[in-house]
Amino acid sequence: MAGRHRVDRGQKGFSASHPAAVQDVAPNELVDTAAPAGGLSSQEQKAVLWGTVFRVLGTPIMALLGLLNTAIIVRETGESIFGVVSLIATMSLLFPFADLGIGAVVTNASSRAGKLSEDPVTVGTIQRAYRVLSMIAAGLIVAFVLIMIFDQWGAVIGLTTGPDDRWVITLAASLFALSLPTGLGIRILIGINKNQLAVLVLMSNTVFGLLITVGLMLVGAQGIFFAIPGVLGALLGNIVGTIVALRMSGLGTVVFAAPVREMAQVKLLAGSLWMLIASVGLPLGLQSHRVILSHLSTPEELSRYALMAQVYALGWSVFSTAGMAYWPVFVKRRGDQAGTIKMWIKIVLVFFGVSVVAAVFISLLGPFATNILSSGEVRTGTWLAVAFGCLLVVQCIHLPAGVLLTTPKEMRFQAFCIMGMGLISVVGGIVVAPEYGAVGVVFVAAAAVLVTQIVPDFAFVPRLVKRRDPVEVDQAESSGAVSV
């Protein structure tokens, strides 16, 4: 980016001894990270296209592998233990904010134009991110070991399956903790326009998990031991992603070193607090429906919701993958305010049009699909399918703004909107659940997204982008962003 000073590099890292003449940073020799004057670069086009294609083609394959994995675990554990195993294996869904929003910071830092390995802000940001998340992982492991020593896992999760719980759950929880720093590789891949590789790495988690499950079955493992495949598979996938990301980006092992002294006073992780708040608000508004229905409605309504939510999730995963590919696209164009607004409007229109088509398919085919999945035991109904279709449309309309507003000030704006969405969704869900069940809570969630995210998007996104100044743009290139 023009206007940034280069700094000399010593043998031990970056040095701020004297600034060179102001000049453009040379393009990355390994990946195309520079934004073209107009439109998308070839790397950006490939990231959007192939990431979406891989997700579309891979989703049914991963769904089948996941169902096979679940079938094996249910058969080996039994109905009573499967619930505990599932709870532990999906720990990341319960704590999506465990990385404190730092993962989003790394994506933005990796999206900076130029050769990443020669950018002190990028290298320093990723170095500090690895150090902070490694310390968090170490702290969590210590806490898990203490729980094991005092034999309190039964009190923590509310259920016990036998004497092996204390050892196996501690191991599984520790593997989850280790996945926090290793998960940064996925963030780097997204930042360097390798969204298709990020999708493949995420899909590999399911493959690793299935292989581990089969291995445990062959050696005669029983019960709670089947909580390990899910978290260990995710950890192995993250390790593969880290290796690929560091090679593709040219960063190498330098990211594991301590940040150089000159970067110690730079606020490298700016915006991560707001990302943390957003990470709490998102599951509050969009993942709390099961809890609300389980307390205020009937088991049948909960089953209908859970089944149709799987159909919705398949569609949303495709749009989410495509949307994430635009994250680095917007970061590289922060200095082009008019072009950014124009691109945002175009993307919103495309996402809106395609999501409406997808919503129609969900509304028409959703009840039929869920009837097949449940062998006719669960009847979801057309209105529930329509409700999820509406939720998909409003989520897709907001998605481009979620990956556009990524400076610390813009992240603060997003955090307040997301928390508002979460509160309205929860309170409204509590009100409508007793009478309207699953249909009611989903329509409330869609209305919450419309009121607290889409309306503010169109009211404030152009204004926020136009308020960016060159200093803020330069300083914000290592800030956080919302991934929704």
Whole-angstrom distance, CA of residue 106 vs CA of residue 269: 9
What confidence score (pLDDT) does residue 264 get? 57
Which residues are CB-contacts of 219 (< 8 A; sequence separation ≥ 6)?
none
**DSSP string spanning 151-214?**
T-HHHHHS----TTHHHHHHHHHHHHHHHHHHTHHHHHHHHTT-HHHHHHHHHHHHHHHHHHHH
What confidence score (pLDDT) does residue 199 get? 83
User: What is the 3 state secondary structure string of 459-483?
Assistant: HHHHHHHHCCCHHHHHHHHHCCCCC
DSSP-derived secondary structure letter, 16: E
Q: Around Cβ 104, how many Cβ atoms within 10 Å?
A: 28
What confidence score (pLDDT) does residue 94 get? 57
What confidence score (pLDDT) does residue 265 get? 54
pLDDT category of residue 172 using cuts at 50, 70 and 90: very high
More confident residue, 85 or 34: 85
Burial category of 228 from C-beta neighbours within 10 Å (exposed 0-12, middle 13-18, buried 19 and up): buried
H or E element, residue 9: strand 7-10
What confidence score (pLDDT) does residue 79 get? 58
Which residues are bridge partners to 10 per DSSP?
13
What confidence score (pLDDT) does residue 10 get? 39
pLDDT of 317 higher than 60: yes
**Angle 176-177-181 from CA coordinates, rounded to 5°:** 110
pLDDT of 258 higher than 70: yes
Most confident of 155-164, 303-312, 374-383, 426-435: 426-435
Residue type, 88: I
The whole-angstrom distance between residue 231's C-alpha and the CA centroid of its chain comes to 16
Mean pLDDT of all residues belonging to the chain = 80
360-394 pLDDT per residue, tens: 999 999 888 877 766 676 678 899 999 999 999 99
Segment 123-136 shows an average pLDDT of 91
What confidence score (pLDDT) does residue 27 get? 35
Q: Around Cβ 36, how many Cβ atoms within 10 Å?
A: 12
**Helix and strand element counts for the chain (H, E):** 18, 2
What confidence score (pLDDT) does residue 143 get? 95
Percent of the chain with pLDDT over 90: 39
Q: What is the dihedral of CA 228, 234, 236, 240, to 10 degrees?
A: 180
Residue type, 369: A
Whole-angstrom distance, CA of residue 23 vs CA of residue 2: 6
Query: pTM of the predicted model, to two decimals?
Result: 0.68
Whole-angstrom distance, CA of residue 107 vs CA of residue 184: 8
pLDDT category of residue 462 using cuts at 50, 70 and 90: very high
What confidence score (pLDDT) does residue 41 get? 67
Q: Picking from 172-186, 198-212, 291-305, which range would have the lowest pLDDT averaged per residue?
A: 291-305
More confident residue, 190 or 281: 190
DSSP-derived secondary structure letter, 407: S
Closest of 479, 89, 102 to residue 279, by C-alpha = 102
Query: In the block, which residue shows the tokens 């006073």?
Result: 265
Residue type, 361: F
Segment 391-399 shows an average pLDDT of 96
What confidence score (pLDDT) does residue 411 get? 85
Segment 224-251 shows an average pLDDT of 94
More confident residue, 269 or 152: 152
More confident residue, 272 or 242: 242
If DSSP codes are grouped into helix, strand and coil, which group holds residue 222? coil
pLDDT category of residue 109 using cuts at 50, 70 and 90: confident
Whole-angstrom distance, CA of residue 106 vs CA of residue 478: 7
Closest of 311, 332, 277, 358 to residue 474, by C-alpha = 332
What confidence score (pLDDT) does residue 267 get? 59
Q: Picking from 160-164, 246-250, 460-464, which range would have the lowest pLDDT averaged per residue?
A: 160-164
**DSSP string spanning 368-388?**
HHHHHHTTTS----HHHHHHH
pLDDT category of residue 19 using cuts at 50, 70 and 90: very low
pLDDT category of residue 16 using cuts at 50, 70 and 90: very low
What's the token pair of residue 140? 């969590």
55-103 pLDDT per residue, tens: 677 777 877 787 688 778 877 887 567 667 776 777 766 566 677 778 8
pLDDT category of residue 479 using cuts at 50, 70 and 90: very low
